[in-house]
Amino acid sequence: MTKRNRAAKTLLWTLLLTSVALVAGAQAPPPKVRSPALKDARFHSPMPGGGIGGWYGDTGLDISGNFLPVYAIAAGTLDYSERGHTRWTSGRDTPFSVRLRLDEPIPWGTQRVTHVYYTHLSALEVTQAEGATERHHVDAGERIGTSGIGNGTPHLHLGLLTEGQVEQDSWEFILREDAVRKVLGGYRNGEVFPGMAPAAH
């Protein structure tokens, strides 16, 4: 084999190995970003940096924030992720909602929390119509959307529903604002949910 042939063969092998490495690198998915754990480490922050507020007796927890990323508090399967499912649709109000059926229900008194409801979202990570035959699964702490505006105020509304009763037509199956705070780890109004860790460089 001549020097020229050996050089050509070496070059071909180098190109081949480089191509394989590039393809392998392209196929490796980047690590998924997860929101931080809450005081109750079973759950992840629904809106890192969001301020906890609301009023006693509300149908869920209001979390203030200006167009912040929203995450699943626990793993589950989407019932829907689409426009609608909220009464607040006028003016600057943003129209998207998500309902998540939890993989593992959360015991609460004599009931079990089976679903989490998010509304006033301005954007969704996945669009899925209610009643879709193929339903998207999300991991705990996975991003599901971006907060928006409800009743003219920038915030996210987070509700917990029990015993698979999702129509929100009976107070028996909707946790009030104070109960939602207790489930997530005993937060008080005025506290801020833990923020995201700084990105590594």
In a domain, 41, yes or no: no
CA end-to-end distance (rounded Å), the chain = 48
Same domain, 151 and 76: yes
| Residue 46, domain member (yes or no) | no
Which residue range(s) make up the domain with 21?
1-30
Instruction: Confirm whether 192 is domain-assigned.
Output: no
71 lies in the same domain as 151:
yes
Give the contacts of 130 (CB within 8 A, at least 6 positions apart): 79, 80, 82, 85
Q: What is the pTM of this model?
A: 0.82
β-bridge partners, 80:
99
Distance CA 154, CA 201 (A): 32
Q: What is the pLDDT of residue 19?
A: 52
Q: Which pLDDT score is estimated for 197?
A: 73
Residue 71: closest CA among 10, 6, 125, 3? 125
Low pLDDT (below 50) residues in the chain: 11, 13, 15-18, 20-23, 201
Q: How high is the pLDDT of residue 129?
A: 97
Tokens of 39: 């005081």
Shared domain check, 104 and 24: no
Domain count, the chain: 2
At 79, list the tokens.
Answer: 């019932």
Residue in the structure block whose two tokens are 């909707």:
174
Do residue 76 and residue 18 come from a single domain?
no
* Residue the block writes with tokens 């928006």: 148
Domain shared by 1 and 55, yes or no? no
pLDDT of residue 156: 96
Are residues 95 and 138 both part of a single domain? yes
* pLDDT at position 22: 46
The Cβ of residue 89 has, within 10 Å, a number of other Cβ atoms equal to 11
**Cβ contacts of residue 167 below 8 Å, gap of 6+?**
none
**Residue 194 domain-assigned?**
no
Give, in degrees to the nearest 5, the angle at Cα 97 between 94 and 103. Answer: 155
Q: How many CB atoms within 10 Å of residue 112?
A: 14
Same domain? For 17 and 60 the reply is: no
Q: Is residue 121 part of a domain?
A: yes
Residues 55 and 118 in one domain: yes
